[in-house]
């Protein structure tokens, strides 16, 4: 287990008293040779400066981070005039899994804008498990998406699947989505980052938090102005839900790493009846926004119909439960 901080003790310091004070602040420590205490990763958030003030502490060293740009990333970011994080109201990004037709995306844009969404989502390029499934209308769908969003005062978030499509996607998207399956595609991360647009980076379905943060680091290193990490569920052993929504990771990124993390409860749940409770739970855990799939006729949806919410369900996602 890697320590978060190495706390060195002043000569003659009362080790038990320092340990008690660290514990009082929610920090778990492991003693070493008597001259140092290791602060363990499941501890509460604290800055090195706060720990240096504790009587008996001579110094605090942080092990070198592998992701310095992520560590310095602001807690709040502006994406085309919409603020994510830093106490701003949660941002709703909603739309169909795939952009199905110009008429359809336009009708959905109107409905989600009325329901409080700030971003319109929809894939022009769809990563599909089966080669026989609908894989998106490609470039024409990007233009439909942008026109529909503009007509209803929405911003655009859409996925880029390949390096060859980065410039077409960057021309229409306010926020470029890197899908779960591509979180480890470092060539795509680099190409997307070079478009100099904020990136929404979905967590790979078997990626550790550290690997996810390093994917974000790749993006920032190659020029992305901001990254919104997106938790969308990881592979679990239980098929009851499509994926296992890792709310611990949402809380960790929001409260310890202080990043504008967002959550996609649709791909986590895989079924519409659980999308609202999971989305609300993610907001309670600290998510700065939600990416949600919506369809007016889910039975006819070209992809992911079973998890699509009707637009009328969107406002409940953002209701604060005072009960
Ligand atoms: C999507 O948002 O449409 C999508 C394909 O999601 P994920 O990459 O999380 O599977
Ligand atoms: Mn989908």
For 74-125, the DSSP string reads -SSEEETTEEESTTPPPEEEEE-SB---HHHHHHHHHHHHHTT-SEEE-BSS
Distance CA 265, CA 234 (A): 11
179 lines ligand 1 (CB under 6 A): yes
Task: Using alpha carbons, select from 157, 161, 165, 232 the residue that is nearest to residue 197.
Answer: 157
Distance CA 283, CA 122 (A): 22
pLDDT of residue 3: 67
pTM comes to 0.90
Statement: residue 167 has pLDDT above 60: yes
Sheet holding 29-31, edge to edge: 29-31, 36-39, 5-9, 57-61
Statement: residue 12 has pLDDT above 60: yes
pLDDT digits (tens, 9 = 90+) for 84-107: 999 999 999 999 999 999 999 999
Interval 33-61 mean pLDDT: 89
Statement: residue 26 has pLDDT above 80: yes
User: Which residue lies with its CA nearest to atom 4 of ligand 1?
Assistant: 179
**Residue 122 near residue 154 (C-beta atoms within 8 A):** no
pLDDT of residue 319: 82
Strands 175-178 and 36-39: unpaired
Q: How far is the CA of 208 from the centre of ligand 1 (A)?
A: 18
Instruction: Give the relative orientation of helices 102-114 and 139-151 as an angle to the nearest 10 degrees.
Output: 30
Statement: residue 1 has pLDDT above 60: no
**Residue 205 near residue 180 (C-beta atoms within 8 A):** yes
Q: What is the pLDDT of the chain when averaged over all its residues?
A: 95
Distance CA 79, CA 94 (A): 16
CA distance readout (Å), 148 to 57, 105, 159, 294, 314: 59, 6, 17, 15, 18
Interval 195-199 mean pLDDT: 98
pLDDT of residue 199: 99
User: Of how many residues is the chain composed?
Assistant: 323
Statement: residue 6 has pLDDT above 60: yes
Note residues around ion ligand 2 (Cβ under 5 angstroms): 97, 304
Q: How far is the CA of 242 from the centre of ligand 1 (A)?
A: 12
Ligand 1, pocket-test mutation among 161, 202, 268, 293, most atoms within 8 A of CB: 202
DSSP secondary structure of 184-226: T-HHHHHHHHTTTS-EEEEPPTT--HHHHHHHHHHHHHTT-S-
Ligand 1, pocket-test mutation among 232, 275, 289, most atoms within 8 A of CB: 232
Q: For ligand 1, what atom is nearest to the CA of residue 303? A: 3
- Token pair listed for 227: 């990254």
Q: How far is the CA of 150 from the centre of ligand 2 (A)?
A: 22
Phi, psi of 287 (to 5 degrees): -65, 140
Statement: residue 254 has pLDDT above 50: yes
pLDDT digits (tens, 9 = 90+) for 269-283: 999 999 999 999 999
pLDDT of residue 33: 73
Q: Judging by beta carbons within 10 Å of its beta carbon (0-12, 13-18, 19+), is residue 239 exposed, middle or buried?
A: exposed
Interval 205-213 mean pLDDT: 97
Statement: residue 323 has pLDDT above 50: no
Phi, psi of 20 (to 5 degrees): -60, -40
Q: To the nearest whole percent, how much of the chain has pLDDT over 90?
A: 90
pLDDT of residue 2: 56
Statement: residue 175 has pLDDT above 80: yes
pLDDT band, residue 44 (cuts 50/70/90): confident
* Cα-based torsion angle of the residue sequence 266, 271, 277, 278 in order, rounded to the nearest 10 degrees: -40
Buried b (16+ CB within 10 A) or exposed e, 168-189: bbbebbbbbbbbbebbbbeebb
pLDDT of residue 321: 55
Residue 321 burial (CB count, 10 A): 7
pLDDT band, residue 246 (cuts 50/70/90): very high
- Token pair listed for 124: 């022009």
- Token pair listed for 2: 């890697």
Statement: residue 220 has pLDDT above 60: yes
127 lines ligand 1 (CB under 6 A): yes
Statement: residue 64 has pLDDT above 60: yes
Distance CA 281, CA 258 (A): 18
Distance CA 229, CA 220 (A): 12
pLDDT of residue 65: 87
Interval 284-290 mean pLDDT: 98
Ligand 1, pocket-test mutation among 93, 96, 97, 205, most atoms within 8 A of CB: 97
């Amino acid at each position: 287990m890697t320590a978060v901080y190495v706390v060195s003790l002043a000569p003659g310091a009362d080790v038990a008293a320092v340990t008690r004070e660290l514990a009082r602040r929610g920090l778990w420590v492991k003693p070493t040779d008597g001259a140092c205490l290791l602060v363990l990763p499941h501890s509460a958030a604290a800055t090195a400066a706060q720990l240096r003030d504790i009587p008996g502490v001579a110094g605090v060293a942080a092990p070198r981070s592998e992701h310095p740009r992520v560590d310095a990333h602001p807690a709040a970011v502006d994406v085309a005039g919409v603020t994510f994080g830093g106490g701003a109201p949660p941002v709703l990004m909603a739309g169909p899994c795939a952009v199905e037709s110009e008429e359809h995306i336009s009708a959905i844009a109107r409905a989600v804008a009325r329901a409080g969404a700030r971003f319109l989502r929809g894939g022009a390029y769809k990563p599909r498990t089966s080669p026989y499934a609908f894989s998106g209308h490609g470039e024409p769908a990007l233009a439909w998406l942008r026109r529909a969003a503009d007509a209803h005062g929405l911003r655009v978030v859409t996925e880029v699947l390949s390096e060859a499509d980065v410039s077409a996607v960057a021309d229409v998207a306010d926020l470029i989505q890197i899908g779960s399956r591509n979180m480890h595609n470092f060539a795509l991360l680099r190409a997307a980052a070079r478009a100099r647009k904020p990136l929404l980076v979905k967590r790979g379905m078997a990626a550790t938090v550290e690997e996810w943060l390093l994917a974000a680091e790749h993006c920032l290193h190659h020029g992305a102005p901001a990254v919104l990490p997106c938790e969308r569920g990881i592979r679990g052993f239980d098929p009851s839900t499509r994926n296992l929504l890792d709310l611990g990771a949402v809380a960790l990124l929001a409260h310890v790493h202080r990043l504008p993390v967002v959550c996609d409860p649709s791909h986590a749940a895989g079924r519409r009846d659980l999308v609202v409770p999971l989305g609300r739970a993610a907001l309670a855990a600290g998510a700065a926004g939600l990416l949600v799939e919506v369809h007016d006729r889910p039975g006819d949806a070209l992809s992911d119909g079973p998890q699509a919410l009707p637009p009328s369900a969107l406002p409940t996602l953002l209701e604060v439960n005072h009960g």
